Amino acid sequence: MANHQVYPPPPSEFRGIRGVMHVEVLRASGIKVRRMIGYGSRERYVIIRYGHGHGRKSMTSQVHHGGNSTMWNVTFVYNIISRSVETPTLQLEIWKKHKSRDDHLVGFVSVANLHRYISQSENLCTPYLWLPVFYKGEKDSTAQQRGEILVRFFFEAQEESYFGDNRHRDDHFFPNAETKSVDIVVQGVRAKYTTLDTTAGTPSHGALISLK
């Protein structure tokens, strides 16, 4: 990821700059699941949600078996074409797969300031970060942390012609090269963050964070 050329020099939060965002999702750790939301299945998949308003999109990973410490080792790649000055929120969700009933949301986290955080990172590439994963039940007043997810972000700014000449790829994801030693080589650091959403009763209450 870090070998991509950085062009042009990054402005604060990439406002008005178009390019390609890479979201590398390695694995989960210590995800606690209530029996009431599905006991038994150890199959998990990840959904990322990104973009603005009605143009908001999502991508879904393949299902992997691993329970509370599932390894995905997948990279999501999506284009940032809009020149909106609004900073989009990136949401990561972990879902539990079922064969005989609807799948269940195990936990999620929403990052409000991803662009600003990446713009302050060397080569526009963050270190591997352990982000908190939250879950908010119907009877919960606020989201509670239920584990962590290991991720890395990289932004690849592009010239105008990259999008104008239709040379860009559609949003997609791909599995990274498998390695048995990834748990040893990639330890990651626990992200420092503050909680932004303090409005009780909202779906993201307690799970919208700002990285610092």
pLDDT value for 59: 97
Report the amino acid identity of residue 66.
G
pLDDT value for 116: 87
Rounded Cα distance, 126 and 154, in Å: 6
Give the closest residue to 166 by CA, choosing from 154, 158, 174, 178.
158
- Any alpha helices (H) in 20-159, and if so which ranges? 114-119
- Residue 118 CB neighbours (<10 A): 20
The pTM of the full predicted model, rounded to 2 decimals, is: 0.85
Cβ-contact 201, 137 below 8 angstroms: no
pLDDT value for 184: 47
Per-residue pLDDT of the chain (212 residues; tens, 9 = 90+): 444 444 444 555 666 678 899 999 999 998 876 654 445 578 899 999 998 777 889 999 999 988 888 899 999 999 987 666 566 889 999 999 888 888 989 999 999 999 889 988 989 999 999 999 998 777 677 788 989 999 999 999 888 778 777 777 899 999 986 644 455 457 899 999 998 865 555 555 568 999 99
Q: Indicate the class that CATH gives domain 16-211.
A: mainly beta
Burial label for 171, CB within 10 Å (0-12, 13-18, 19+), is middle
